[in-house]
Structure 1
Amino acid sequence: MTKVLPPPPEAHAPEPAHAVGRRRVRRAPLRARLGKAGVAALAWAAAIVFFFPVLWMFVSGFKQEAQASTDPPTFLFRPTLDQFEAILGRDFAPFLLNSLMASVGSTLLVIVLATPAAYALSLAPIRRWKDSLFFFISTRMMPPVAIILPLYIIANNVGLLDNVTLLSLVYTAMNLPIAVWMIRSFLLEVPRETLEAARVDGATFGVEIRRIILPMIAPGLAATALICFIFAWNEFFFAVSLTSTRAATVPVFLTGFITSEGLFLARLSAAATMAALPVILAGWFAQKWLVRGLTLGAVK
Structure 2
Amino acid sequence: MTATAAPGVTVAPARRARQARRRAAGLGLLAWVAGITFALPVAWMALTSLHSEPDAATNPPSLGAALTLDGYRAFFDSGGGMGPWPSLINSATASLVSTLLVLCLALPAAYALSIRPVRKWTDVMFFFLSTKMLPVVAGLLPIYLFAKNAGLLDNIWLLVILYTSMNLPIAVWMLQSFLADVPVSIIEAAQVDGAGLPTVLSRIVAPIAGPGIAATSLICFIFSWNEMLFARVLTGVTAQTAPVFLTGFVTSQGLFLAQLCAASVVVSLPVLAAGFAAQDKLVQGLSLGAVK
Q: TM-score, normalised by structure 2?
A: 0.91
Match of 1:269 in 2: 261
Match of 1:99 in 2: 91
**2: distance between equivalents of 1:192 and 1:185?**
14
Q: Would the alpha carbon gap of residues 281 and 42 (structure 1) be closer, same or farther in structure 2, given more than 3 Å must change? A: same
Q: Distance in 2 between matches of 1:211 and 1:218?
A: 11
- In structure 1, the partner of 2:3 is 16
In the alignment, structure 1 residue 34 sits paired with structure 2 residue 22: yes
C-alpha distance in structure 1 between counterparts of 2:194 and 2:86, whole Å: 51
The RMSD of aligned alpha carbons is 2.2
2:232 equivalent in structure 1? 240
Report the counterpart of residue 45 of structure 2 in structure 1: 57
Distance in structure 2 (CA, Å) of the matches to 1:55 and 1:284: 16
Q: What's the CA shift for 1:254?
A: 0.9
Establish whether residue 174 from structure 1 lines up as the match of residue 161 from structure 2. no
Q: The residue matched to 1:75 in structure 2 has which SS?
A: coil
Q: Which residue, out of 115, 120, 142, partners 1:123?
A: 115
- 1:29 offset after TM fit, Å? 4.3
The answer to whether 1:289 aligns with 2:276 is no
Structure 1: segments with no counterpart, 5+ residues:
1-13
Aligned residue-pair number: 286
What is the Cα deviation at residue 16 of structure 1? Answer: 2.6
Query: Alpha carbons of 1:296 and 1:244: their partners in 2 closer, same or farther (altered >3 Å)?
Result: same
Q: 2:213, 2:285 within 8 Å by CA — same for their partners in 1?
A: yes
Matched, 1:134 2:121: no
1:140 aligned counterpart, secondary structure: coil
C-alpha separation between the residues in 2 aligned to 1:283 and 1:102? 18
Cα distance, 1:24–1:126 mapped onto 2, change above 3 Å = closer
Distance 1:88 1:72, change over 3 A: same
Partner of 2:90, secondary structure, is: helix
The 1:36/1:131 distance shift into structure 2, 3 A limit, reads closer
What's the CA shift for 1:15?
Answer: 5.6
Deviations 1:164-183 (CA, angstroms, capped at 9, x unpaired): 10111110111010011111
Letter paired with 2:92: L
User: CA-to-partner distance for each residue in 1:168-209, whole Å, 9 max, x for gaps?
Assistant: 111011101001111111111111222233334444434322
Distance 1:131 1:37 in 2: 44
* Deviation sequence 1:111-158 (CA, Å, 0-9, x none): 111111111222222233222222211111111111111111111222
Q: Which residue of 1 aligns with 2:76?
A: 88
Aligned positions of 1:97-246 closer than 5 A? 97-246=89-238
Report the AA paired with residue 268 of structure 2. Answer: A
Deviations 1:217-241 (CA, angstroms, capped at 9, x unpaired): 1111111011000000000100000
TM-fit CA distance, 1:299: 4.4
Runs of 5+ consecutive residues of structure 2 not aligned to the other structure:
none
2:242 aligned partner, one-letter code: V
Q: Is the 8 A contact 2:174 2:289 kept in 1?
A: no
Residue 89 to residue 265, structure 1, CA distance change in 2 (3 Å) = same
After superposing the two structures, state which structure 1 stretch, 75-84 or 202-211, moved more: 202-211
Work out the CA distance in 2 between the residues paired with 1:93 and 1:285: 23
Cα deviation, residue 26, structure 1: 5.0
Q: TM-score, normalised by structure 1?
A: 0.89
Flag the 1:100–1:202 CA change in 2: closer, same or farther, 3 A.
Answer: closer
Q: Does 1:73 align with 2:74?
A: no
Which amino acid letter does the alignment assign opposite residue 64 of structure 1? Answer: S
AA in 1 matched with 2:48? S
SS of the residue corresponding to residue 131 of structure 2 reads helix
1-structure distance, mates of 2:132, 2:20: 44
Query: What CA distance in whole angstroms lies between the structure 2 residues aligned with 1:234 and 1:228?
Result: 10
**Structure 1 residue 274, shift from structure 2 partner:** 0.4
For 1:17, what is the secondary structure of its paired residue? coil
